[in-house]
Amino acid sequence: MPTAISLLLLLAVLGFAVVRPRGLPEAVGAVPAAVLTVVAGLVPWRDAVHELGDLGPTVGFLAAVLLLAYLADRSGVFRFAGAVAARWSGGSPQRLLGIVFVIAAAVTAALSLDATVVLLTPVVFTTASALAIRPKPHVYACNHLANSASLLLPVSNLTNLLAMSAAGLSFLGFAGLMALPWLAVIAVEYVILRRFFADDLATPPHRPPVEPVPAPRFALAVLGVTLAGFALASPLGAHPAWVALAGALVLAVRLRVGLPTLVRKANPGFCVFVLALGVVVLGVSRSGFGTLVDRVAPHHPDLLGLLAMAFLAALLANVLNNLPATLMLLPFTAHSPGLVLAVLLGANIGPNLTYVGSLATLLWRQILHKSGHPPVTGEFLRLGALTVPACLIVGVASLWVSLRVSGL
Amino acid sequence: MWVTEGTWPACVDAVRALPGDVTLLHVVDVATAAALSGPVGLLGRSGPADQGEFLLAEAAIELLDAAAARLGRGAVRQTRQGRPEREVVAACADVDLLVLARDGDRSRLGPRSLGHHARFVVDHAPCQILLVWPESTPALRTLPPPPHHDQTR
């Protein structure tokens, strides 16, 4: 019975977050569910408070990074990226795809997947259209890389931030182990997309005049220093969230952005949602479902164990969503950094299978037929079916090599 | 005339010499629309739902404007959204001639010079078809040699 209640609560929270009736913030559904989880005795309140304390700094970090991405956009960083891509491509669809891969991978790694989806993708579409290039491959590349290129740094994805604190990895330690899988997975995506969209990429190049966009030097410098700060903060004992906040504040002062805008763009509602979701998922992991996951999950970070863990995480990410999947699997893997990183491979790459993020999202959307969103196309599902297993296998193999080399 | 990114100038040049009324058709690929407006950010977060639609509509207008300007005479403009190959075939129901460009391998003569969508349209369109090469036509020497058993016979 507790299992059923906790799962129902989780599904309700996810459904609310996807549908957002009347545009209400996702926290409106999640907070009552978290309270119910505690009231129903699924999670003792002390544990709930402990969970919130654990998640707090991570969520603060997320808010600062979202803010940083927004201010980078206001400074013209993404517009500049689009102009650079247009100039360097020389109007060639194939070369533009290569440049989009580099930019999308860098943006995702440094400013999180959210920046790629919300801020970079529209710029890439406009750039391709202005060059009379079919934009589909390039938009799909952004979409896919937002997930699969979010492996490199803890800031790239909220799942990574959660994992970093769970596994006790340092910022640089995380990046060192994930660099090889990150590169390998991007290479796999590139090869598959190039072949999948061969028709659309074969059109002759045009060279319409591209208006030069001045480089936002100040913003780029701040972003560079902030990134270096992430790496330096951990050894010095400071939480990288402070570095991100400092970078964001420098940009905000320069752009003269007011405090109300800053608070709004840090997405406090979304942060509350993540905290509440943490409590609801804790209820699920303590129930029979958690026991089942524990029994199924591998416990040794050998090649087979890593592979099984990555596929399990990808499966859970597709059934629920990657955030609940990560929260659920982390407690069972915290003893081994290798297994934690395998969870991330699955949870980060897995969502490419169903482009809306997960089966739960997909079902909710199909059921309620949310207006304004076109239906899922077979093409996207086929592309996901091609890339996800290949990326998982190659990613796990290179993670195994990284672990062996580093002696973990 | 089917106006798609990359290959439309060749179609316009072919149409210019033809008499009769011209319709410029652009199909917004539903797959691109889905990829542009899918809520794939952090769980629950997504860009403004209508941003993708707006970008697509704007790009379609610019594309048709450019085609009309190159054509240099009056033409009806039509934008559809859906699977491009199906929409183009459907739009051909009451036209005499469809003009479209090859969009596959342009380096040699042969079936690969037609991409999947163009292949579908050529196979199914309920009207006459004028199929043009974008840019230059490959030389005759790119023709593959006849099958081996023909040579030995």
Question: Could you list the residue range(s) of the whole structural domain that residue B97 is in?
Answer: 8-152
Q: Which pLDDT does position A283 carry in this prediction?
A: 87
List the Cα angle A162/A299/A168 in 5-degree steps: 30
Of B40, B63, B116, the CB nearest to A355: B40
Q: What is the C-alpha separation between A192 and A317, in angstroms, rounded?
A: 22
Chain A nearest-CA distance from B133, in A, is 11
For the stretch A27-85, pLDDT in tens is: 888 899 999 999 988 889 898 998 898 888 888 888 898 899 999 999 999 999 999 99
Q: What is the pLDDT along chain B (153 residues), one digit of tens a residue?
A: 899 888 888 999 999 888 889 999 999 888 888 777 665 545 545 455 567 778 888 899 999 999 999 998 889 999 998 889 999 999 999 899 999 999 888 888 888 889 889 999 999 999 999 999 988 888 888 888 888 776 655
Q: What is the C-alpha separation between A200 and B116, in angstroms, rounded?
A: 10
Tell me whether strands B76-82 and B23-29 are parallel, antiparallel or unpaired: parallel
Bridge partners (DSSP) of residue B132 are B101
* CB atoms closer than 10 angstroms to residue B131: 16
Q: Which pLDDT does position A232 carry in this prediction?
A: 87
Q: Is residue B60 part of a domain?
A: yes
- What does the block give as tokens for A114? 């959210």
Q: Which pLDDT does position A364 carry in this prediction?
A: 55
Q: Is residue B1 part of a domain?
A: no
Residues in chain A predicted with pLDDT less than 50, given as ranges, are 369-371
Interchain CB contact of A73 with B (< 8 Å):
no
Helix, coil or strand: residue B146: coil
> Could you tell me how many helices (H) and strands (E) chain A has, helices first?
19, 0
Give the number of domains in chain B: 1
Interchain CB contact of B113 with A (< 8 Å):
no
Interface contacts (A, B; CB < 8 Å)? 140
Which residues have C-beta within 8 Å of that of residue B4, sequence separation ≥ 6?
Answer: A134, B26, B27, B84, B101, B103
Interchain CB contact of B43 with A (< 8 Å):
yes
Chain B nearest-CA distance from A358, in A, is 9
For the stretch A174-199, pLDDT in tens is: 999 999 999 999 999 999 999 999 98
Q: Is residue B3 part of a domain?
A: no
Interchain CB contact of A260 with B (< 8 Å):
no
Q: Are A140 and A150 in contact (CB under 8 A)?
A: no
Q: Are A303 and A338 in contact (CB under 8 A)?
A: no
Q: Is residue B116 part of a domain?
A: yes
Which residues have C-beta within 8 Å of that of residue B77, sequence separation ≥ 6?
Answer: B23, B24, B26, B64, B68
Q: Are A277 and A3 in contact (CB under 8 A)?
A: no
* CB atoms closer than 10 angstroms to residue A343: 32
ipTM associated with this complex: 0.83
Q: What is the CATH number of the domain that holds B137?
A: 3.40.50.620
Q: Are A156 and A61 in contact (CB under 8 A)?
A: no
Q: Is residue B95 part of a domain?
A: yes
Chain B nearest-CA distance from A205, in A, is 7
Bridge partners (DSSP) of residue B80 are B27
Q: Is residue B53 part of a domain?
A: yes
Q: Is residue B56 part of a domain?
A: yes
- What does the block give as tokens for B2? 């089917």
Chain A nearest-CA distance from B64, in A, is 11
Closest to A351 in 3D by CA, of B48, B53, B38: B38
Q: Is residue B85 part of a domain?
A: yes
Cβ B30–A199 below 8 Å, yes or no? no
Q: What is the C-alpha separation between A228 and A344, in angstroms, rounded?
A: 23
Task: Return residues 98-137 of A near B (CB < 8 Å).
Answer: 112-114, 117-118, 121-122, 125-126, 128-129, 132-136
Distances in Å between the alpha carbon of A361 and those of A32, A46, A141, A310, B53?
20, 31, 21, 21, 21
Name the residue of chain A whose CA is nearest to B47's CA. A118
